[in-house]
Amino acid sequence: MTVPFVPDRLLFGGDYNPEQWPREVWAEDMALMRRAGVNTVTIGVFSWAVLEPREGEFEPGWLDDVVALLDTNEIGFFLATPTASPPPWFTRAHPDALPVRADGTYVSHGSRDTYAISAPAYRQAARRVARFLAERYGDHPRLRGWHVHNEYGTIDHGPHAAAAFRRWLQGRYTSLEALNDAWCTAFWSQRYDDWEEILPPRTTQYLANPAHAVDFKRFCSDEMLTACTEQRDEIRTAGSTAPVTTNFMLPTWDHLNQWDWSEQLDLASVDHYLDTPGPDGEAHVAYGADLTRAWGGGPWLLMEQSAAGIRDGARQAFKDPDRMIRNSLGYVARGSQGALFFQWRASAGGSETWHSAMVPHVGPQSRTYEGVVELGALLGRLQEIAEPPRTGPVVEADVAVLWDANGRWSLQTPHLPNDELDYTTEVRATHRALWRAGVAVDFVRPGADVTRYRVLFVPTLMALDADTVTWLTRYVDAGGHLVVGRFTGVADEHQRVAPGGYPGRLRELLGVRVTEHLPLAPDETQELSDGSVVEQWTERMDPPRADIVAAYAEGPLAGLPAVTRRRVGDGAATYVSTRMVQESWDGFVAALLAEHDVRPVVPEAAGTGVEAIRRRGAEATYLFLLHHGDQPVRVAGPGHDLVTDSPTDAGIVVAPGGYAVIREAPTAAWSVTPLPPA
């Protein structure tokens, strides 16, 4: 991303799939969109079969009509390339382009995302349809950007993948000798003598080779990225200069190294579906938003969210309109240039019939559509915030969390000391603790400029390359406080353990030498000397060359160090050898923040249920107050609330479930006072 994505207004709308509906409905769609202030839709995402009904024969008349209709109604659009869902004719003509699962099963069409990413026929067809769309619509004045594909993520283990994987490995290792060494193939007689012997990690008799598994994940991300940039290049060759994005997906789709991808895109965008209807959903909004802002390195876009449903195991919980609005503001506050949804109108049939939409089955006489209208009007009033600051970040944070796709992939390899150690769970636990403390948070990648952060958290990162070790060491040498979680740095980038004691590559920096990993049973907890409760994991270590912050208070490790801190000049390296339960971790993190004077965005909001986020703009800063609590509050300070268009100096009341977006006077200080229930 070289130029920040700055639309002329905050984008509002969603996936629009008019090909599912008769034309009378299109007219109603336009009227309802206008009423709701929709200014952006994504069209064409799953339209390949109607756009190109036979190989090489395009029938774009309907799409011309959709574009014309949007134009007449002054609605902008992202044009999607439909390559996530090849039509039946494609798979029939090119059965070799069907994806193969690890167990060798060919996946059939009948759903979506059924393609073998490395199959030449698929890649060629994808380029062709991207080129066709770019030539036809690439200079349309209402084109806001290109939405290449949809949520890349179909993993193929078939022959095309095997060939491409070998090429990728040759590029990475050059010689088979280097590969054999990196993969430790001497174990279990896996030595490769010919590149052709190497396969994708398919179903095996027993445990797979971890280095092989992680390299395959890296390859899949790179291979899908190449497919994506091929489409981007077709679009550019056709002369279209509109921004190019592809929608990442959270929380479950973990196949990409989004840092690398974002470098190739003009805009980072994400589909974010909350995974809990409970209060933790708000922390999840913050997590998805902070992560995508980090990937994009600036303003980004919420491409999809659900209008009224939150998946809760087997059932669909209802998302109330006020929560939908607060959540949307939570993304915008953290740098999203709008709030888009999947999808505009709920489908009457098909696989996602029961997915919520901006216009539900019951129609516009619904709380959901009314909420949509309210959100559209609200975003219209916030237009000025889309202009990013001339210098510095959109959100300013003093603490950061390291996020690395490789960390996730390493922990997905089998037979670790405790397979319950899950990367995303760990990262989210740390982010949640910071969110609960009310501070702004950045995510960073290995090697990033971290000089501005007072505390850098590495929740866990099993495998570290030499550069990352040097980078972390420099951070501490320069006066930063590094907080490292268990099972970090135990291996190199090939998942090979550094012998001589854990955490091998960080022993020096942390001043500890761990000799045993001692996982706890699933329900087991223990106490530490500072009263913290821990679970899942403990470690025995030698007397550290570091201060002991807390010791194990019970069990076989009673009296031995659990949490240590090594001081290095003005800097420090803390090691946490166990997993604190969330409440204990919250307390530990809050104390660290206080020690480093990392203050909440609005300290006075603590305990009121009001979430405060500050977004920086070109002319001012904007304080977003999202009230998730159940008692009204009075907020006062020098500024102007854009929601109600009223000054805040004498105070405004924010009701439970409500919100305010305040253009702040410079150096504004805020008071937040709970009021008796209305």
Task: Return the active site residues.
Answer: 151, 304
Encoding tokens for residue 20? 């599912």
Q: Does 271 bind ligand GAL (CB under 6 A)?
A: yes
For the CB of residue 209, give the shortest distance to ligand GAL in the complex, in Å.
32
The dihedral through the CA atoms of 632, 636, 642, 646 has a sign that is: positive
C-alpha to C-alpha distance for 379 and 359, rounded to whole angstroms: 18
Taking CB atoms, the residue at the shortest distance from ligand GAL is: 342
Eight-state DSSP code of residue 259: H
Q: Does 74 bind ligand GAL (CB under 6 A)?
A: no
C-alpha to C-alpha distance for 240 and 228, rounded to whole angstroms: 16
- Taking CB under 6 A as the criterion, which residues in 273-292 touch ligand GAL? 273
- Per DSSP, the residues of 323-334 read HHHHHHHHHHHT
Other C-beta atoms lying within 10 Å of the C-beta of residue 631: 14
342-356 burial: b if 16+ Cβ within 10 Å, else e: bbbbbbeeeeeeebb
For the CB of residue 271, give the shortest distance to ligand GAL in the complex, in Å.
5
Nearest to 428 by CA among 560, 276, 538: 276
Which of residues 352 and 554 has its CB atom nearest to ligand GAL in the complex?
A: 352
Nearest to 237 by CA among 324, 320, 314, 128: 128
Other C-beta atoms lying within 10 Å of the C-beta of residue 193: 8
Which of residues 78 and 273 has its CB atom nearest to ligand GAL in the complex?
A: 273
For the CB of residue 270, give the shortest distance to ligand GAL in the complex, in Å.
10
Element (H, E) at 230: helix 210-237
Angle subtended at Cα 275 by Cα 271 and Cα 277, rounded to the nearest 5 degrees: 120
For the CB of residue 576, give the shortest distance to ligand GAL in the complex, in Å.
34
Which of residues 151 and 282 has its CB atom nearest to ligand GAL in the complex?
A: 151
Number of residues that bind ligand GAL (CB under 6 A): 9
For the CB of residue 364, give the shortest distance to ligand GAL in the complex, in Å.
21
For the CB of residue 309, give the shortest distance to ligand GAL in the complex, in Å.
8
Which of residues 151 and 156 has its CB atom nearest to ligand GAL in the complex?
A: 151
C-alpha to C-alpha distance for 140 and 66, rounded to whole angstroms: 13
Residue 550 contacts residue 563 (beta carbons within 8 Å): yes
For the CB of residue 275, give the shortest distance to ligand GAL in the complex, in Å.
12
Which of residues 91 and 343 has its CB atom nearest to ligand GAL in the complex?
A: 343
For the CB of residue 647, give the shortest distance to ligand GAL in the complex, in Å.
41
Residue 192 φ/ψ region, left for φ over 0, alpha for ψ in the -120 to 50 degree band, beta for the rest: beta
Report phi then psi at 584, rounded to 5.
Answer: -65, -40
Which of residues 342 and 457 has its CB atom nearest to ligand GAL in the complex?
A: 342
Nearest to 236 by CA among 134, 92, 320: 134
C-alpha 263: how far from chain center: 15
Which of residues 353 and 673 has its CB atom nearest to ligand GAL in the complex?
A: 353
| CA-based radius of gyration for the chain | 26
For the CB of residue 251, give the shortest distance to ligand GAL in the complex, in Å.
11
C-alpha to C-alpha distance for 111 and 388, rounded to whole angstroms: 40
Encoding tokens for residue 221? 């991300």
Site string for ligand GAL, 335-364 (x = CB under 6 A): -------x---------x--x---------
Considering only 38, 146, 149, 151, the residue that binds ligand GAL (CB under 6 A) is: 151
Which of residues 342 and 409 has its CB atom nearest to ligand GAL in the complex?
A: 342
- Taking CB under 6 A as the criterion, which residues in 250-269 touch ligand GAL? none
335 to 13, 218, 296, 401, 619: CA distances (angstroms): 17, 28, 10, 18, 15
Which of residues 342 and 659 has its CB atom nearest to ligand GAL in the complex?
A: 342
Report phi then psi at 579, rounded to 5.
Answer: -105, 115
Which of residues 156 and 304 has its CB atom nearest to ligand GAL in the complex?
A: 304
Which residues are bridge partners to 653 per DSSP?
Answer: 634
For the CB of residue 342, give the shortest distance to ligand GAL in the complex, in Å.
4
Which of residues 15 and 442 has its CB atom nearest to ligand GAL in the complex?
A: 15
Which residues are bridge partners to 630 per DSSP?
Answer: none
Eight-state DSSP code of residue 103: T
Where are any strands of DSSP class E within 259-417? 269-272, 300-304, 309-312, 315-318, 336-341, 399-402
Other C-beta atoms lying within 10 Å of the C-beta of residue 201: 17
For the CB of residue 87, give the shortest distance to ligand GAL in the complex, in Å.
16
Which of residues 250 and 441 has its CB atom nearest to ligand GAL in the complex?
A: 250
Site string for ligand GAL, 29-48 (x = CB under 6 A): --------------------
Half-sphere exposure of 72 (CA within 13 A, CB side): 11
Nearest to 369 by CA among 324, 415, 303, 312: 324
400 to 227, 324, 482: CA distances (angstroms): 32, 27, 10
Encoding tokens for residue 623? 């304080």
Which of residues 64 and 352 has its CB atom nearest to ligand GAL in the complex?
A: 352
Site string for ligand GAL, 195-234 (x = CB under 6 A): ----------------------------------------
For the CB of residue 134, give the shortest distance to ligand GAL in the complex, in Å.
21
Helix (H, G, I), strand (E, B) or coil at 283: helix
Q: Does 149 bind ligand GAL (CB under 6 A)?
A: no
Residue 507 contacts residue 488 (beta carbons within 8 Å): no
Angle subtended at Cα 151 by Cα 347 and Cα 407, rounded to the nearest 5 degrees: 140
Residue 615 contacts residue 332 (beta carbons within 8 Å): yes
Report phi then psi at 41, rounded to 5.
Answer: -130, 155
Encoding tokens for residue 216? 């395959």
Considering only 228, 249, 302, 652, the residue that binds ligand GAL (CB under 6 A) is: 249
For the CB of residue 88, give the shortest distance to ligand GAL in the complex, in Å.
19
Considering only 17, 150, 292, 608, the residue that binds ligand GAL (CB under 6 A) is: 150
Residue 442 contacts residue 397 (beta carbons within 8 Å): yes
Site string for ligand GAL, 302-321 (x = CB under 6 A): --x-----------------
Which residues lie near ligand GAL (CB under 6 A)? Answer: 150-151, 249, 271, 273, 304, 342, 352, 355
